[in-house]
């Protein structure tokens, strides 16, 4: 390897680690926002009732939608807790790729994304003006962007070439001349080979066609572009502790809880490879799963409720445990950076 090749590789590594840092910051911000999603008035009224249902259904015959493996796989019964319908859905773990997936995708999946679903929170603003001049023209696509909260935040910080797509929004949305969001799937996005970054933040696990989605993302990026994915991942410590009450199963919205093996399997099929994994789970994996196990729905888990049952020392222990698990690759959430396979 000559000097200039060496420098080039080092620069790329440097860039990647910056991307990872940025993603970490975003996840921390998002988690803080969720923890403060406070409905103060409810906290004192919530009562806990531990679920005693036998949710481990044993081995049942399944076919893995990711890797195609067939067999009798461990099957679990999971409650819907975000909308608090308490409907039950079967999930199984593929013995080959170790992803956890819903047995049958509901036909009315759209019904489980109500108007209050948390990514759909912003009003469109086609005349929006930005105070910061454009200082970054990287072309970025946010897949499953909702109404574009993250994109607008990036635009406020000087990014000027931002796109989003989400099939579940009502119509196309524009925020001034910097953010353009289309009501469509990733397969319908234009601009093959033109994107520097394609971002999928907690959206890949919602997709019923992850292999096709990754292939479409691979087509959209430049040869040196990256795909950044933030996803809940399995197996992990929260499932070990709380089983089917692990809150990130989020039945039935999360179709697949990916393992590293299932991600690598799909990446390979799309001509991609994993450049980095970055585990970033935090104490929410224990706290939220504990409350799910005790029958408290998503929106009732407030910081007030948490402080009724856990003191600062408990939280510090959960946080330390999460950090330790992240280091071992056993936390419940990670960022994955994908790039085109080196030829």
Contact footprint for Zn ion (CB under 5 A): 64, 66-67, 69, 94, 96-97
Q: How far is the CB of 64 from Zn ion (least distance, A)?
A: 3
Q: How far is the CB of 94 from Zn ion (least distance, A)?
A: 3
Residue entry with tokens 């759209």 = 110
Q: Which is nearer to Zn ion, 66 or 181 (CB)?
A: 66
Coil vs helix vs strand at 73: strand
Please state the φ and ψ torsions of residue 116, each to the nearest 5 degrees. Answer: -90, 0
- What lies within 8 Å, CB to CB, of 197 at 6+ separation is 19, 138, 139, 140, 141, 221, 225, 226, 227, 228
Enumerate the β-bridge partners of residue 195: 221
Q: Which two tokens stand for residue 285?
A: 């994996």
Q: Which is nearer to Zn ion, 260 or 321 (CB)?
A: 260
Q: How far is the CB of 249 from Zn ion (least distance, A)?
A: 17
| Rounded Cα gap, residues 141 and 163, in angstroms | 5
Q: Which is nearer to Zn ion, 172 or 268 (CB)?
A: 268
Give the DSSP H/E element, type plus range, for residue 77.
strand 70-79
Q: How far is the CB of 92 from Zn ion (least distance, A)?
A: 10
Q: How far is the CB of 67 from Zn ion (least distance, A)?
A: 3
The percent of the chain in helix, strand and coil, each rounded to the nearest 5, is: 35, 25, 40
Q: Which is nearer to Zn ion, 67 or 241 (CB)?
A: 67
Q: Which is nearer to Zn ion, 87 or 96 (CB)?
A: 96
Q: Which two tokens stand for residue 327?
A: 């280091």
């Amino acid at each position: 390897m000559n000097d200039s090749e060496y420098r080039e590789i080092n620069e790329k590594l440097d860039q990647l680690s910056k991307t990872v840092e940025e993603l970490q910051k975003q996840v921390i911000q998002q988690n803080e926002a969720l923890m403060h999603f406070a409905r103060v008035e409810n906290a004192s009224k919530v009562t806990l009732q531990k679920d005693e249902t036998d949710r481990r259904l044993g081995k049942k015959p399944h076919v893995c939608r990711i890797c195609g493996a067939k067999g009798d796989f461990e099957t679990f019964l999971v409650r819907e807790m975000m909308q608090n319908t308490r409907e039950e859905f079967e999930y199984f773990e593929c013995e080959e790729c170790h992803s956890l997936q819903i047995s049958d995708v509901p036909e009315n999946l759209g019904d489980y994304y109500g108007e209050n679903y948390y990514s759909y929170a912003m009003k469109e603003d086609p005349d929006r003006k930005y105070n910061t001049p454009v200082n970054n023209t990287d072309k970025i696509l946010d897949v499953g962007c909702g109404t574009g909260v993250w994109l607008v935040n990036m635009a406020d910080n000087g990014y000027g070439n931002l796109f989003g797509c989400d099939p579940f929004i009502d119509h196309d949305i524009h925020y001034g001349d910097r953010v353009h969001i289309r009501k469509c799937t990733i397969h319908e996005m234009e601009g093959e080979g033109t994107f520097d970054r394609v971002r999928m933040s907690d959206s890949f696990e919602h997709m019923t066609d992850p292999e096709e989605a990754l292939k479409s993302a691979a087509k959209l990026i430049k040869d040196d572009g990256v795909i950044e994915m933030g996803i809940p991942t399995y197996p992990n410590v929260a499932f070990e502790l709380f089983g089917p009450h692990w809150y990130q199963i989020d039945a039935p919205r999360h179709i697949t809880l990916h393992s590293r093996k299932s991600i690598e399997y799909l990446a390979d099929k799309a001509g991609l490879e994993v450049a980095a994994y970055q585990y970033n789970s935090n104490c929410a994996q224990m706290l939220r799963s504990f409350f799910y196990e005790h029958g408290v729905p998503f929106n009732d888990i407030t910081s007030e409720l948490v402080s009724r049952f856990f003191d600062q020392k408990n939280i510090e222990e959960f946080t330390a445990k999460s950090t330790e698990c992240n280091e071992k690759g056993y936390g419940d959430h990670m960022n994955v950076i994908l790039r085109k396979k080196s030829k």
